[in-house]
Structure 1
């Protein structure tokens, strides 16, 4: 069983799928925009360890592939689809796995299908760091069954949810309002509670109310993920806001979640030690110190 698969983007998600597909016997080639930069050395090393070939251009990764997977930051998805369209040929599949709105999926489909290739909408529904290539993926569009038939033998867990572009994104982003919203609630609550010395009591109360969840461990997990991936999550939530707005509702919560996720990414950029912390208490204390420092600077400037 052999198949050539191209992957655009070899970050956390790209690597999770690339390593799994290659391990299952597929021939995998990848291109990442960071390859020509100093960060490219890490990508090359990871790909080599995974049995994935690294290409110096997107065209090389796309050339000869039966299917091309796009796994890039959400706000880069359209540009990647447009560039891919200049290399794609009739008979190839382009699978957009990025967390963008139904409207943006439709735009990507139009760009790709103008090349003669076929567009497959896809959305990842489970954390790739835990599930790897077996992360649940929803597919939509007329060519979705063909993509499922091609990729399922290599260990991907796929389900077709419709033949209309945007059907999978609607599921993903409406769910993200809840999932990323819970993250935002947890972060804001713990940041404030930590300042009052009330965080342990808040978590103990939650544990009593819902004992099936380890609330302290959940706080650690949420802070780690938001600090590490806040920028990406913020972009996803802006697309969720677009989806909510297109459905006819004001995206009040979606945009507030995006703002908090961006703020956490800003904190991590200002204090790189936050990337390595696995304890919400340490993270909250460092963020509190950052905010106090910035407030002190603002007061000094205003005097």
Structure 2
């Protein structure tokens, strides 16, 4: 691990994430930390922001320009919906001495948009994602990528942060986080729907106990069990989930997630994968996914051919 070195650190946003990083790094001994939060002096949580900053010893500034003047490494932890707007605001104040990374939860396309808006500044640019939770303090797990990704990790990890550099391609860290959210946030929503319905039937504890037996095994074991067999048994699983949706609806709960699951299984059934594999479960998830992609591409090609022929007839 590299040795600690003092540098001027800047935060964009001082909400739960920003304040956790600020207080943690100051506690670890990093001396110069400044933050720009547009609501720090005029907003519904301005008093809370100011209180947190004062207790941590973090300097609140009033503009993007002031933050650029006070910091060399700047990390943005605003909501992803504000990433592009924030980049526009920094485009006129950054220069070649700055390192700037957007750690918001957003798509790779958004992070590339941030880089495009800041490309003429000369700043070293990168992106990051927060994989852990503030409950773990400022050492929550993070990823970084892009030209600035390694530099950020080299500077911050010695101070106690956990940042894994995942590559030179900008958007990699954000892509890992946002695509993982399909699963993690989906599990949250599915759990809510399951528990609300199970509670109606007085079965919440029993259903949780049953599900836990499956979910305690390593996740890759689950993937290798469900994905290969799913291309063969999509029809049966679809029918089961459709009945599950009825049970949820009978409990007075709109089965939003369950119906969506049935729709995805119905789509998979329609690809003809059981016939493709002659009813034999493929050896691993990669083979199953490649077959799905192949069927999707064949379907798109057929649609394009049909559209071309229709245009010729006209």
Note whether the superposition's TM-score is higher than 0.5: yes
Higher-Rg structure is 2
> Alpha-carbon deviations, 1:223-248, whole Å to 9, x = none?
xxxxxxxxxxxxxxxxxxxxxxxxxx
Between the two proteins, the alignment pairs up a number of residues equal to 216
The residue that corresponds to 1:75 in the other structure is 81
Question: 178, 183, 190: which is aligned to 1:185?
Answer: 190
Aligned-partner Cα distance in 2 for 1:20–1:88: 26
Question: 110, 127, 134: which is aligned to 2:116?
Answer: 110
Q: CA deviation at 1:161?
A: 1.1
The residue that corresponds to 2:142 in the other structure is 137
Unaligned runs of at least 5 residues, structure 1: 214-252, 258-303
Contact preservation (8 Å) 2:100, 2:148: no
What SS does the aligned partner of 1:175 have? Answer: helix
> Alpha-carbon deviations, 1:64-101, whole Å to 9, x = none?
31111100111111111111222212210111101111
Structure-2 change in CA distance of 1:9 and 1:193 (3 Å): same
Aligned-partner Cα distance in 2 for 1:110–1:210: 42
- Does residue 1:7 correspond to 2:27, yes or no? no
Q: CA deviation at 1:41?
A: 0.7
The residue that corresponds to 1:99 in the other structure is 105
Contact preservation (8 Å) 1:140, 1:165: yes
The residue that corresponds to 2:204 in the other structure is 199
Give runs of ≥4 in structure 1 deviating > 6 Å: none
Structure-2 change in CA distance of 1:24 and 1:178 (3 Å): same
Q: Which sits farther off after the overlay, 182-191 or 31-40?
A: 31-40
- Does residue 1:16 correspond to 2:5, yes or no? no
Q: TM-score, with normalisation over the residues of structure 1?
A: 0.66
Structure-2 change in CA distance of 1:73 and 1:210 (3 Å): closer
Q: CA deviation at 1:207?
A: 4.0
Q: TM-score, with normalisation over the residues of structure 2?
A: 0.64
> Alpha-carbon deviations, 1:191-240, whole Å to 9, x = none?
22223332222223234555689xxxxxxxxxxxxxxxxxxxxxxxxxxx
Question: 31, 46, 49: which is aligned to 1:43?
Answer: 49
Unaligned runs of at least 5 residues, structure 2: 219-256, 262-314
The residue that corresponds to 1:122 in the other structure is 128
The residue that corresponds to 1:220 in the other structure is none
Q: CA deviation at 1:38?
A: 3.9
Contact preservation (8 Å) 1:94, 1:112: no
Aligned-partner Cα distance in 1 for 2:39–2:200: 39
Aligned-partner Cα distance in 2 for 1:124–1:209: 28
Q: Calculate the aligned-residue CA RMSD, in Å.
A: 2.3
